[in-house]
């Protein structure tokens, strides 16, 4: 198992990235705030959304089966994939049986999660991303750096250079021209593709309808032009009724992009029916677990699965605003990534991630379904430490420090003695806000900051001698 470390240094030293990140994310936060301020009962909607999600999760098998039943009723086929590899294999099988050569994909984070593109290409298929951001990321052979805006890390200038190199386009900084070029190239792919793959924002159990929310029309084309459509859906994306959708759409689009509604909301119920002119001949819905049922086990942690992937927590997170997505080294990044990833995969692989937060709580405050992200981070931190305590790492300096500290501060006598000793040690080492011979954790701190040091007199002694009475 490879451990993924957060690459702080490259992100902070990348001046180009730093120039893009904060202004872009700040704009997203502002448009979200504005869109939310128009909705009088926003808090009520959040509560409703959360309650519906938690209820659905509690009865997950029931709603999933209902969804399956209704999708099948529309002439669709439903497949259940336990792992990402299973899902990729299923898709390859479907493609092989139908002599598929070219695939168009609309945006799906689940596709990223299961490394779909690599899998399909290994299977001999030609895959094209059709969401503009995803297309940019694919052309530059990268991965998305944000759930909603995958090419967040790129400036318009970067995109122009990329299009110049890869598409032979004339150099330009004109966004409209860049978009038009991509549109022209992609149009051809849409027409030639035999298979369209999409994600799913919501699966409505009551009607067997899947909902795909987008702004570019690429998802509509991907799901209707090719003769086969495969929709990938995480098992947590099911919602009970169509009326619930009205609330979730509001929560999603306003939180994600600050839009009242996106340009396209696709409601898809099965393949083309007799007498219909458009639509795929075959429709498959693949319900993917890939570690989700592990999260389902714990009643408190289960709320992690309520996430509707709006990215608002990423936009507002101070740490994400500095790091961007790539530094996390994971598919899901930022606050939601740091609670999702450690629960879906072995926690030891991403044990640094739950700690990469100042616990400021801005994520929970903005989350449209009120996921208690800081509390979950804290719980995961405990899991990480407990796992470390079981192995050789039980003798790690941090833990010994904590053990000694807890022993000292749980007695006023020990605390008093330690206070006197520390002052003696400090007086030999501290000069003008800096420790000579600094050891961690002080050395980490004083690289950028002056260190105040312990006061000559404690509050307790201060009070007694100064007489706080006056």
Partner 1 sequence: MKVSFFSTCLVDQLFPQVGASAVRLLRRLGVEVDCDPRQTCCGQPAFNTGYASEARKVASYFIKVYRDVETIVVPSGSCGAMIKCHMLEIFPKGSPQYQEVLAIASKTFELSDFLVSKLGIVETGARFTGTVTYHDSCHQLRELGISEQPRALIRAVEGIQFVEMKNSTRCCGFGGTFSVKFPGISAELGRDKLRWIQESNAEYVIANDVSCLMHLDGLLKRERIPVETMHLAELLVK
As a whole number of angstroms, the distance between CA 82 and CA 392 comes to: 33
Q: Which of residues 369-398 bind partner 1 (CB under 8 A)?
A: 375, 378, 380-386, 398
If the CB atoms of residues 77 and 381 are measured against partner 1, the closer one turns out to be: 381
CB 313 within 8 A of CB 366: yes
Check residue 115 for interaction with partner 1 (CB under 8 A).
no
As a whole number of angstroms, the distance between CA 245 and CA 202 comes to: 8
Total residues contacting partner 1 by CB under 8 A comes to: 68
The count of residues in the chain is 470
Which residue, 354, 281, 340, 312, is CA-closest to 112? 340
H or E element in which residue 78 lies: strand 77-81
Here the tokens at position 221 are 């084309």
Exactly one of 15, 276, 412, 420 binds partner 1 (CB under 8 A); that residue is: 412
CB of 324 to partner 1, least distance (A): 12
Here the tokens at position 234 are 């995480």
Check residue 23 for interaction with partner 1 (CB under 8 A).
no
Tokens 């009970």 sit on residue: 240
Here the tokens at position 291 are 């570690």
Count of Cβ atoms closer than 10 Å to residue 8 Cβ: 14
Stretch that binds partner 1, among 168-176, 179-187, 277-285, 362-370 (CB under 8 A): 362-370
As a whole number of angstroms, the distance between CA 290 and CA 428 comes to: 56
String of DSSP letters for 399-419: HHHHHHHHHHHTSHHHHHHHH
- Encoded one letter per residue, x for contact with partner 1 by CB under 8 A and - for no contact, window 268-297 reads ------------------------------
As a whole number of angstroms, the distance between CA 27 and CA 187 comes to: 30
Rg for the chain (alpha carbons), in Å? 26
- Encoded one letter per residue, x for contact with partner 1 by CB under 8 A and - for no contact, window 293-322 reads -------------------------xx--x
CB of 172 to partner 1, least distance (A): 33
CB of 58 to partner 1, least distance (A): 20
CB of 316 to partner 1, least distance (A): 9
Check residue 34 for interaction with partner 1 (CB under 8 A).
no
Stretch that binds partner 1, among 7-15, 175-183, 285-293, 303-311 (CB under 8 A): 7-15
Check residue 362 for interaction with partner 1 (CB under 8 A).
yes
Which residue, 81, 71, 353, is CA-closest to 210? 71
Exactly one of 199, 226, 280, 453 binds partner 1 (CB under 8 A); that residue is: 453
Check residue 438 for interaction with partner 1 (CB under 8 A).
no
Check residue 403 for interaction with partner 1 (CB under 8 A).
yes
Here the tokens at position 57 are 């999760």
CB of 190 to partner 1, least distance (A): 42
Residues contributing to the site for partner 1 (CB under 8 A): 6, 8-9, 12, 22, 318-319, 322-323, 354-362, 364-365, 375, 378, 380-386, 398-399, 402-403, 405-407, 409-412, 415, 419, 433, 440-441, 444-455, 457-463, 466, 468-470
């Amino acid at each position: 198992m490879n451990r993924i470390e957060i690459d702080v240094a490259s992100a902070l030293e990348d001046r180009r990235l730093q120039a893009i990140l904060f202004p872009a994310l700040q704009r997203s936060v502002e448009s979200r705030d504005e869109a939310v301020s128009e909705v009088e009962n926003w808090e009520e909607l959040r509560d409703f959304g959360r309650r519906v999600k938690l209820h659905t999760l509690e009865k997950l098998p029931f709603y999933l089966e209902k969804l399956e039943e209704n999708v099948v009723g529309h002439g669709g086929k439903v497949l259940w994939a336990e792992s990402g590899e299973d899902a990729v294999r299923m898709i390859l099988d479907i493609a092989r049986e139908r002599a598929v050569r070219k695939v168009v994909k609309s945006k799906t984070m689940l596709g990223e999660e299961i490394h779909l593109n690599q899998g399909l290409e290994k299977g001999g298929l030609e895959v094209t991303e059709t969401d503009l951001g995803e297309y940019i990321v694919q052309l530059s052979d990268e991965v998305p750096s944000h759930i909603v805006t995958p090419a967040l890390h790129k400036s318009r200038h970067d995109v122009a250079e990329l299009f110049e190199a890869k598409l032979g386009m004339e150099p330009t900084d004109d966004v409209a021209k860049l978009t038009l070029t991509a549109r022209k190239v992609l149009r051809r792919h849409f027409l030639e593709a035999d298979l369209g793959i999409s994600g799913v924002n919501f699966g409505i159990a009551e009607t067997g309808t899947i909902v795909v929310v987008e702004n570019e029309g690429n998802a509509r084309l991907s799901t209707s032009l090719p003769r086969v459509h495969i929709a990938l859906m995480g098992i947590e994306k099911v919602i009970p009724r169509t009326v619930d959708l009205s609330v979730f759409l509001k929560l999603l689009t306003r939180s994600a992009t600050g839009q009242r509604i996106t340009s396209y909301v696709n409601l898809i119920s099965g393949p083309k029916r007799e007498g219909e002119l458009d639509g795929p001949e075959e429709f498959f819905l693949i319900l993917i677990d890939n570690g989700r049922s592990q999260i389902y086990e714990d009643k408190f942690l289960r709320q992690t699965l309520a996430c509707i992937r709006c990215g608002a927590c990423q936009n507002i997170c101070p740490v994400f605003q500095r790091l961007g997505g790539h530094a996390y080294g994971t598919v899901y990044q930022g606050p939601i990534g740091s609670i999702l990833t450690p629960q879906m995969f072995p926690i030891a692989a991403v044990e640094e991630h739950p700690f990469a937060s100042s616990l400021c709580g801005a994520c929970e405050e903005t989350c449209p379904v009120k996921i208690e992200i800081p509390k979950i981070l804290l719980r995961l931190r405990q899991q990480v430490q407990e796992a470390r305590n079981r192995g050789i790492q039980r003798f790690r300096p941090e833990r010994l420090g904590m053990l000694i500290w807890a022993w000292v501060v749980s007695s006023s006598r020990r605390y008093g003695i330690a206070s006197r000793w520390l002052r003696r040690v400090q007086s030999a080492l501290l000069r003008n806000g800096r420790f000579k011979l600094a050891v961690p954790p002080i050395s980490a701190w004083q690289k950028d900051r002056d260190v105040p040091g312990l006061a000559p007199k404690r509050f307790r002694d201060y009070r007694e001698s100064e007489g706080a009475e006056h």
